[in-house]
Amino acid sequence: MNRPTPIPAPKVDLDAAKAWLQEKLSRERLSHSLGAHDKALELARKFRLPAEAQEKAAVAGLLHDAAKLMGPRELFDYCDRHGLAISEADRESPQTLHPFVGADLVMRELGIEDPEILDAIRYHTTGRAGMDRVEQIVYIADKIEENTRNPLFVKRVAAHLDERNPASLDETMLYLLDSTIAFVMEKRQVIHPRTLEARNDFIRRLKQTTGRRKNEEEN
């Protein structure tokens, strides 16, 4: 079966992108974004993603929170102005909208149209079923960058990551999704359907991986 040809990573002026972010983010949030860039690049290299994918993960890591400081009303207004669909789940959990608005800002204001970069930005909060490696790495990097995240939590999550085992990315995603769901349940907040779909998808992926390994051992 012929595989689609990967789209080359766009040449992004990182200095210009950082200057653009400075206009949109607080100092702490900018530090977080720089940390996510570094961690996404580190993980992409550690898990031996192709060079193009490494660049895309790093760019998405840097830009993932472009709309983080926009409040609910501002996010709703932006979506209305630019025709971005808002689901009932988004209205109940408006914090899940900033990735979609951020991806739209990145596309409109920085001219980045690469679908892998934009999807990694869009789904870094809720996750989704069918996440590719770039999306997974940006999701994980957001949670364990070392500039602003709790060192004990970073260490706990990092213990799941083993570059000798590519499936450990799936295992780490499941751990983080379970942690997120438990936190949201404790707060008695609405769990976004995409997060539940993502969790179920990673459970299925890991079962398939376990099944393949068992068959290989038996054969």
pLDDT 10s digits, 74-98: 999 999 999 999 999 999 999 999 9
| Statement: the pTM of the whole predicted model exceeds 0.75 | yes
Which DSSP state fits 94?
Answer: G
The pLDDT value recorded for residue 82 is 97
In this structure, what is the dihedral angle of CA atoms 134, 139, 143, 147, given to the nearest 10 degrees?
40
* Residue 11 confidence (pLDDT): 73
What lies within 8 Å, CB to CB, of 23 at 6+ separation is none
| CB-CB contact of 177 with 198 (8 Å) | yes
Q: Are 40 and 141 in contact (CB under 8 A)?
A: yes
Distance CA 128, CA 197 (A): 6
**Using CA atoms, how far apart are residues 54 and 47, in angstroms rounded to an integer?**
10
Contact status, residue 7 vs residue 116, Cβ threshold 8 Å:
yes
Q: What is the pLDDT of residue 14?
A: 86
**What is the per-residue pLDDT for 195?**
97
Contact in structure between 143 and 169 (CB atoms under 8 Å)? no
Helix/strand/coil for 5: coil
So what's the pLDDT on residue 2? 46
Q: Which amino acid would we find at residue 196?
A: L
Token pair for 136: 């997974």
**Positions of the chain with pLDDT under 70:** 1-10, 212-219
Q: What is the pLDDT of residue 3?
A: 43
pLDDT of residue 216: 64
Pair 78, 70: CB distance under 8 Å: yes
Q: Identify which of 143, 148, 116, 86 has the alpha carbon closest to the alpha carbon of residue 8.
A: 116
Neighbouring residues of 140: CB distance < 8 A, sequence distance ≥ 6: 39, 43, 157, 161, 169, 172, 173, 176
Distance CA 9, CA 148 (A): 28
Give CA–CA dist 110/13, Å, rounded: 10
